[in-house]
Structure 1
Amino acid sequence: MTIDPIALAQALIRRPSVTPEDGGALGVLEEALTPLGFACQRLRFEEEGTAPVENLYARLGTAGPNFCFAGHTDVVPPGDRKAWSVGPFAAEIHNGKLYGRGAVDMKGAIAAFVAAVARDLDASGPPAGSISLLITGDEEGVAVNGTKKVLDWMRERGERIDACVVGEPTNPKALGDMIKIGRRGSFTGYLTVYGAQGHVAYPHLADNPLPRLVRMLDAITRAPLDQGNEHFQPSNLEVTTIDVGNPANNVIPAQGTATFNIRFNDMHSAASLEAWVRETFDAVGGAYDLRCVCSGDSFLTPPGPLPETVADAVERVTGKRPEYSTTGGTSDARFIKDACPVVEFGLVGQTMHKVDEHVALDDLLRLTDIYGAIIRDVFARIPARP
């Protein structure tokens, strides 16, 4: 059975699956995968206070190793539709480019992988193991009812994956530039410093919390956290907001708040960062509250069988050896790394989340070739885990 990656990408883009709405996108995938022999399971998860999310786990075969492609059909909102030169969900083709929200991030990659599987089945028959797809509708949102819960569901059923490629747009300028073999973690701190309200003319009767707030923030931003290492760029801490909410210029406020985010490499953990921040704030003194949230730890899939399999496939198709990188933000690979080795490779990311998001048709076809090369090689190089 032949599947045209361009036509499938168009069908997916035409489903307006803005997080957390599915918009029919997973149904399009099921219609493509079922005739190929995949057993498709729709998984709906809902956590109190969050919107329900539809996910899809599809598997072809029952033997190991189980090679998984992970991705998301949800997309960010299109923004001002009048700013688009075409309809954001029309999936129009102009001058060799397919336009639409999700073309790059990441419906195009999903379509390329499905087309690659179909081609490989026609050429070689069933795989020497299993091929699965873990597709979520919650990656661009709060990411609580998506990949993380699908992985929990899999563990409860004894369902294992042995290696995973995530189809995020990893290439900065041209297809074949970069493979992500890890990501920095993300740690957010929500700080409230307390004092006592009073008149500015009588400061001895008040307790101004703002000088302490400033000293606390200065103490955690004064010096770099580290210099980076072989695989990771330096960690960075950025203060993202400082709020007092005081409309009066003659009143000392009772409290001030600030939020900061740390993108950290594998020289730190969420626990070590929280301990350091609290120790630093304690040294300044005064009453404060600190709430810490880690949306994902740093991780690294060291150069080895999986990264090399992907890099070899990229080089075979594009003629260039991709860089191994851990740059950028977070992705659902931060959850998958607890289940198996994982790397990321997809399209060129220059237009993701932008007006007139688009993918070159040639890139879509070459990505299909790359995924096909990975499928042909991966089962010989990635053994099933015991």
Structure 2
Amino acid sequence: MTPQAKIEILQHLIQIPSVNDHEAQVADYIASLFEPYPQAKVEKVTYAPGRDNLVVTIGNAGPQLGLCGHMDVVAAGDEGAWQHAPFAGEIVGDQLFGRGASDMKSGLAAIVITLLEFLEQGTQLPGSIRLLATVGEETGEYGAAQLTAAGYADDLAGLIIAEPSGLDNVVYTARGVIDYKVVSTGKAVHSAQPEKGINAIDNLMKFYNAVGPVMAKYTQTDPVLGGLLHNVDLISGGEQVNSIPAQAELMANMRTIPAYPNQVIYDDLEALIAQLNQEPGVQLDLSYSYPEEAIPGDPHAPLVQLAKQVSDQVCGHDTQIVGSGGANDGAEFLQAKSDFTSIEIGPGSNTSHQVDEYVSIKEYLQAIEVYEALSLAFLKKAAQPEQVHD
């Protein structure tokens, strides 16, 4: 495939505005690229109307490597603030602009092209490669959760997620995430007679003031990721200034580390809610939004070390082995039946989720070389009988 053809595939992906939805259009386009190759097994797994995950498997008997990318992007915001239209795929010099250019349609396009070139060239793989293109990563990794529950990761020997780490970084460990909401229900009355009502804001503040000390006991730090993070980011309540509020709520975001599994934190939060609800008039309800476990990882795992070696060779730099503060689809896929290493390495820039998001065309094309070389090297290593699968 020519470099121009590879660039056009990325442009086409960016021109599909899959903003937190409409991933089926992306899945349909990618599936169409594999139509000339009947030996590729193409499966669509519907999450909701207009939202299809896509699984493409190529290769032979032996170890299986997963290549993962998500098809959704975040909203462009005020499109008038963009110098380059967010869904045009405009090229200026070495930069290709558009929403998702960095996060992460360039990585998605690169792993798609990796499979296409293996098919085009008739490469005899010492195993198989499974493309896992997911929905809903930006809002909760629920596409990855669906594919994991359906068994699509059960036979993996390793997983490469094409998130925009930059090709000079291999991410082997990542924070988890817990988003939670606390709703306080009270009783509205006229503010001149507060004793006849129940102030939902006052009761919510009891939780707010108590949760900080509870979270402060998590003092252990990770040498790569740092400590556990807890932030209350949204608070709302009340109807008008002369009424005792009948309802109030807060939302908080936590970034966890491997030392503290999510269940440990759930237990503490739920115990605090139960304790406060014993007080007269207090009614607090706790819920979670798409929590993800932290990814522990091993910097010496074969896939991690191979990724560094290959990226060093292809790109001519000293690739660093690092951790990530953000969650990714790997947290879901690692719940599969098999035991494997998940890493992140992919093209991108520091403009993800920003106005005039872009990716370097040179890095995008290098990423394809990295994925092709890394896929072959890993499968060959994993296929050797004396090797323990990653």
TM norm structure 1: 0.86
Task: Count how many residue pairs are aligned between Structure 1 and Structure 2.
Answer: 374
1:38 is aligned to: 40
Matches within 5 A, 1:205-224: 205-222=196-213, 224=216
The alignment status of 1:192 with 2:190, answered yes or no, reads: no
The one of 298, 304, 312 equivalent to 2:309 is 312
- State the 1:200 CA deviation: 5.0
The one of 316, 322, 326 equivalent to 1:325 is 322
- State the 1:319 CA deviation: 3.4
Distance in 1 (CA, whole Å) between partners of 2:16 and 2:198 is: 56
- State the 1:327 CA deviation: 2.4
2:157 is aligned to: 162
| Alpha carbons 1:191, 1:288 under 8 Å: kept | no
- State the 1:2 CA deviation: 5.4
SS in 2 for 1:248: coil
Matches within 5 A, 1:1-386: 4-22=5-23, 24-35=25-36, 37-46=39-48, 51-119=49-117, 125-144=123-142, 146-154=143-151, 160-171=155-166, 175-176=167-168, 178-198=169-189, 200=191, 204-222=195-213, 224=216, 225-249=218-242, 251-284=243-276, 285-286=278-279, 287-293=282-288, 294-303=290-299, 304-339=301-336, 340-383=340-383
Distance in 2 (CA, whole Å) between partners of 1:82 and 1:74 is: 21
CA 180–290 in structure 1, closer or farther in 2 if over 3 Å, else same: farther
TM norm structure 2: 0.85
Q: Deviations over 1:227-247 (max 9, x none)?
A: 422343211111122222241
SS in 2 for 1:128: coil
CA 119–21 in structure 1, closer or farther in 2 if over 3 Å, else same: closer
| Alpha carbons 2:112, 2:131 under 8 Å: kept | no
| Alpha carbons 2:173, 2:323 under 8 Å: kept | yes
CA 230–135 in structure 1, closer or farther in 2 if over 3 Å, else same: same
SS in 2 for 1:364: helix
| Alpha carbons 2:262, 2:293 under 8 Å: kept | yes
Distance in 2 (CA, whole Å) between partners of 1:269 and 1:67 is: 27
CA 266–199 in structure 1, closer or farther in 2 if over 3 Å, else same: same
CA RMSD of aligned residues (A): 2.8
Consecutive unaligned residues in structure 2, runs of 5 or more: none
| Alpha carbons 1:233, 1:327 under 8 Å: kept | no
- State the 1:76 CA deviation: 2.2
Q: Percent identity between the aligned chains? A: 25
SS in 2 for 1:10: helix
Paired AA for residue 9 in structure 2: L
- State the 1:133 CA deviation: 0.5
